[in-house]
Amino acid sequence: MANSTEFSPSDAVAILTRTPAILNAWLRGLPEAWVLRNEGKDTWSAFDIVGHLIVGERTDWMPRVRVILEDGEARPFDPFDRFAQAKESRGKSLEQLLDDFTRLRRENLAALRAQNLQPEDVTRRGRHPALGVVTLSELLATWAVHDLTHMHQLSRVMAHQYRDAVGPWSAYLGVLRCSGHSAP
């Protein structure tokens, strides 16, 4: 089956609903080396990634849904601080971050359901501070793909720790050839 460009909010929500359980299954109770190591200078660990997802839940996704529904293009979105987690996660354990993310995502999806979006609502427009005019459907699809881009990053960050340990098998393991595409 080839790819499709048709967008259904319920398909995006199917991803968004699952991410907390995926991250809990993946990270909770893992040995610390897997959680705290990154890919080198100015790169993120699993701990940093979960912190970044929390900031998105607090400041990005649902706030922007509300701006589109309430103000449309008239009010640009607030810029998203991609580095806020360094401060916000300080002193917390990974388990606390996973709990926070799980709760915030549940609250945000409840708030999204409460908007009772109708099919025609997904074409409503907002204004991104850098990208210009975007639609609600693009925002919801991006929320889901943002989860996926950080799972893509998480698998790569963890695989990186075994870059040498796998010996000659590195030739067969695509994740070890992923450069991060200058972004997660």
Q: Which of residues 123-142 bind its own copies (CB under 8 A)?
A: 128, 131-132, 134-135, 137-139, 141-142
- Using the contact rule CB under 8 A, the part of the chain among 70-78, 90-98, 99-107, 172-180 near its own copies is 172-180
145/112 Cα distance (integer angstroms): 17
Residue 125 φ/ψ, nearest 5 degrees: -115, 150
25/180 Cα distance (integer angstroms): 23
Residue window 3-22: x/- pattern of binding to its own copies, with contact defined by CB under 8 A = xxx-x--xxx-xx--x--xx
Among 62, 65, 98, 158, binds its own copies (CB under 8 A): 158
Could you tell me which of 174, 20, 34 has the C-alpha nearest to residue 97? 20
93 lines the binding site for its own copies (CB under 8 A): no
Site for its own copies in 22-81 (CB under 8 A): 22, 24-26, 30-31, 33-34, 36-40, 45
75/46 Cα distance (integer angstroms): 34
Among 42, 91, 118, 172, binds its own copies (CB under 8 A): 172
In the complex, least distance from residue 133 CB atom to its own copies, rounded to whole angstroms: 8
Burial group, residue 181, by CB count within 10 angstroms (0-12, 13-18, 19+): exposed
86 lines the binding site for its own copies (CB under 8 A): no
111 lines the binding site for its own copies (CB under 8 A): no
Query: Pairing state of beta strands 132-135 and 125-128?
Result: antiparallel
155 lines the binding site for its own copies (CB under 8 A): yes
Q: 135 - beta bridge partners?
A: 125
Size of residue set near its own copies by CB under 8 A: 73
Residue 12 · residue 141 · CB < 8 Å: yes
Among 1, 114, 116, 119, binds its own copies (CB under 8 A): 1
Our CB check for its own copies shows the closer of 104 and 157 to be: 157
Element (H, E) at 134: strand 132-135
